[in-house]
Each structure stands twice: as structure tokens, then as C-alpha cells.
Structure 1
Amino acid sequence: MEDVLTELPPPSRFFQEDLDNFATPPLPLQSPSLLFSSPKPDQPLRPSLLVIALSSPSLYVLHHISSKTLIGSLLLPEIPFSGNSIEPSLGDKSCNIYALNEAENLTLLVLVQCPVSAERSNAVAKLLIGDQIIPERVLILDSVQSQNFRGKLAPDETYVFKLETSAERKGLDGNGCGGSSLLKGLDYFPSGSVLDGLAAALLARCQMRKIRGTLCVSWPRHGVPVVAMVKSLLQRNVLHGFDLSSIGDAKDKSSRFTSIKNYPFDSDMYT
């Protein structure tokens, strides 16, 4: 007969989720918000093109366009301001909004230099493409995650692919009129590969609102060759009136941008 006094006690009959019921729940995060440098306009911004940079190469190229004007920022309460410089820098954890030109042909640039988790992606996408910013066309620039790509990506070769909303593929604007594809000649993202996170949320937002949206993904995630490829793509198809020739040239040592990092997150949201 077992000695109940000296026998080891049985394991806890509580599951981990039951034990969590006794812990104080964390405070909910505040919603992200948009802050503009001038008083909030009565009418929403209606750019003809909204370019959202998520990848390191696209951040580098757009950061070095000298003619842009800072008009606002997207604020995430979980991202501290400490460590950011006074002037916009590639080393900051920030999300700044810039204007390239005025009035009828307004182009907005959004440089997402802070990590955005999967849980916050939908909220951020609704702010950038929502009531305060209503674009006619959207271009999202991101990098390919090798673990999500069906196939082999050689580290010494550059690749670029695209995904489009139905409105962009049909060549329709908000009024049902036709128009050419924004990134003509690019291959589509291979079937069986997946994209997640903020890029997927932004493209899904465009699809739901019937906006002409294009998601362009490049490989590798860092390096001078991919910077040159992204710069050429923007100069040829998107930013025709801007001289990008001096950005990331051989004399510019910072074009190696060793200090810029991407922020991968696990996500269950795919497109």
C-alpha cells in the first residue's frame, strides 16, 4: 500500500490557460493615429498616388528624394520616440508622411520605418487608406520573405514581382475609366507563395475599397543591386518627374545601408 504522506504530490490539475485567469490582464493598446504638421484639413487628402515603403531598399531610395515635404506622421503608442533624431533619419523608428507635389497631382510617400505587428496591421492599413487619406492609386513596396516563397531565391540574384487588385488588373480607376498598369512588364508573384503582415493588409484594404492597388516585392532584402533595381523601377514607372540618378550610386557609401533592418513578424494573415 502506498504511503500517502511521503508520496510526491500529484501535478497541478490546472491547465496553463486556467492559471492565466488569475493574472491581471494587460491594458489594451491605444489605437494608432495620424498627426499632421498643419491643422487637420476640412477635406480628406486625395492623392493621385500613395506610395507606401516597407522594405529597406524602398525606404532608402524614397528617404533620399530631396524635394519631398514632411506633412505628418502615423503614431503607434507601442513605439517609443526615444532614440529618434530631430531630423528624419533612416535609423529612426518612425512612420512619416511626405508630399511630393501639390494640388491636382498630389503624390504622398509613407515611409514605414517602425515594426508593425500582425495584430496592428489592419488598424494601420485603415488609417493609411481610410477617411483622412483617400488615394486614387496605391503602390506598396516590400521585400520577399524567403520562408514564404515557393521556390529557391539565389542570394546573389535580384528579383521583383507584383500583385494587383482587381481594379488595377482591369485598368479601372474610381470612376470606372480605363488606364495602363502601374508596373508594366513585371512578373506576377508565383502561385503558392504567400505574403503577410502590413503589406497584405494594405493590399486587402485596396481590394475592399475598389482602389487600384499594386504590391511590389523585391529580393534580396538588402544590398546595392536591389537598391538600383528599385530605383530604376520607380524612375521608369512611377516618379517620372524626379531625378533619382544620384541616389545609391557607387560613391555613396551609405547605399550599403548596413544600419537598416527589416522587422519580420509571424502572422496568420495571408493574401
Structure 2
Amino acid sequence: MEDVITEAAPPSRLLEEDLNNFTQPSPPLPSPFLLFPHTQQTLKPNLLIIAISSPSLSLFHNFLTPQTLTASLILPELPLSNPNNHTLDIHSLSSNILIAAVRNPIPDTRAYSVAEILLSDKIRPESVIILDSIQPMNHRGMLSSDEAVAFKLESAVERKMVNGEKLLDGLEYYPSGSVVDGVGAAILGRCQILKIRAGLCVSWPQFDSDVVFLLKDLLKGLKEFDFGLSGDEVFKFGRSKDHVFQSHLYI
């Protein structure tokens, strides 16, 4: 006969997800919102550039000034006194080009909410370029710290454009089996829903001056901008975090 006192209790007949039914759900987070320092208006640029990676922010740093600031995207769950609350600042590079600088990391759980507000009735671009980095765990293949590489993904509308008219002309497509996540993927997905021409460029290494010059060459069609970069100016983005990393994933 079993000892009912010392024997381990039988497993619960309730599944773990059933036990969560007795837990009070967390209140939903409020939606992000756009804050315009001047008169609120609908922005309709020909091109919206989303700078997420450190090299892309370095490339445009001379243009990201208080004078060019057009709007800021705010996450309400962060205190207004926190300088990191300005998760994304939108600057006007010209009458036809806007750049959204993602200066601080955006949680994956908030990525689509940010994309939905960024591409809404207040901002209606004709085309979008997203500049992001390759996350090593998401890439299928070998990544070398000695070679700067970049790949692209496109929305269906952009995919139909002929060579020579594409936003990221000259780049190869991201290898099959590799994935992109985070706010860059969310914005590309939003462009797909809204049928906007969009190209997502992912580059490696994440912190490297060679990537800055690679992006500069990629965006040479923006002839109205003189990036004027030298090696010394971007050296602070050199091999500081991933200089010995290699990724080789097998499927």
C-alpha cells in the first residue's frame, strides 16, 4: 500500500495554459503616438529612410539635427522625463525625403505597433528604404568579420520593378532559410499590407566602418546629399563588438 504522506503528489490534471486562466491578465500597453514639434500635418515624402543599424545612423549623423527634426515617435510606457522615450526621431532631409532614426532599441513586442503608427494617415511615403543589421542567430551560413556584406528583401510591389529602377539595385537577395525580425521586419510587413514600394537592406558586421561606405555607395542615387565621410569619422563604429564572431548554422 502506498504511503500517502511521503509519496510525491500526482501531476496536476490542469494544463499550464489552463492554470493561467486564474491569473489576472496584464493591462494592454497604450499605443505609441507621433509628436510634432511644430504644426501637425500629413507628410507625403517620395522616400522614407528608416535608419536602424549603427552604420546607417553614422552615415546620416550630419543631417540629424534639431533644425531638421519633424516628428518623434513616443512609447507611452516610458516616462517623458526619460531621454530614451524618444525611441524614433523623424528628420526632413529635403522636401521629398524623410529619415526615421531609430536611436534606441525597440522591443519585439512593440515592433508592429511602432510600424503601424509610423506608416499611418500622418505619414504616407511613396517608397521606403529600411537599413538594418544582420542578427547572427538569424543568418543561415558563414559570416566573416573581415568582409562587409549586405542583402535585401523587398515588398511585392518593389519586387515587380525592373532592374535599374529598384530602391536597392545591385544587392543580392537575403539567403533562403535566413530570417529578419524586429522593427525592420515589422515595417517591411506594414509596407506589404499597404502596397508600398519598400526595400529592406541588412548588413554585416553590425559595427564596422566598411559597412558605412558600403551603404554610402548603395545610396549614391541620393546625389543631393554630400555624406562627406572619411575613415576617421566612422572609425568609432569599427570592429568593437563582433571582431571575432563567425556564424555557421546548419539545417
SS at match of 2:44: coil
TM-score (norm 2): 0.83
For 2:127, give the aligned amino acid: R
Aligned residue number for residue 201 of structure 1: 186
Q: What CA deviation, in whole Å up to 9, does each residue of 1:162-203 have, x standing for no partner?
A: 12222223239xxxxx98112222212122222222222211
Aligned residue number for residue 241 of structure 1: 224
For 2:87, give the aligned amino acid: S
2:120 is aligned with 1:130 = yes
Name the CA distance, whole Å, in 1 between partners of 2:174 and 2:192.
17
Consecutive unaligned residues in structure 1, runs of 5 or more: 86-91, 173-177, 260-271
Aligned residue number for residue 74 of structure 1: 73
Aligned residue number for residue 249 of structure 2: none
1:101 is aligned, of 84, 90, 94, to 94
Q: What CA deviation, in whole Å up to 9, does each residue of 1:73-132 have, x standing for no partner?
A: 1111234455538xxxxxx86210100112xxx211001122223332222111111211
2:105 is aligned with 1:115 = yes
Aligned residue number for residue 135 of structure 2: 145
Name the CA distance, whole Å, in 1 between partners of 2:188 and 2:234.
33
For 1:217, give the aligned amino acid: V
How far residue 233 of structure 1 moved from its aligned partner, in angstroms, is 2.2
Name the CA distance, whole Å, in 2 between partners of 1:229 and 1:193.
21
Indicate conservation of the 8 Å contact 2:209/2:234, yes or no: no
Distance 1:159 1:134, change over 3 A: same
Percent identity, aligned pairs only?
Answer: 45
Name the CA distance, whole Å, in 1 between partners of 2:186 and 2:57.
19
Consecutive unaligned residues in structure 2, runs of 5 or more: 242-251
1:219 is aligned, of 200, 204, 208, to 204
Indicate conservation of the 8 Å contact 1:98/1:109, yes or no: yes
TM-score (norm 1): 0.77
SS at match of 2:83: coil
RMSD over aligned Cα, in angstroms? 2.7
Aligned residue number for residue 53 of structure 2: 55
Aligned residue number for residue 265 of structure 1: none
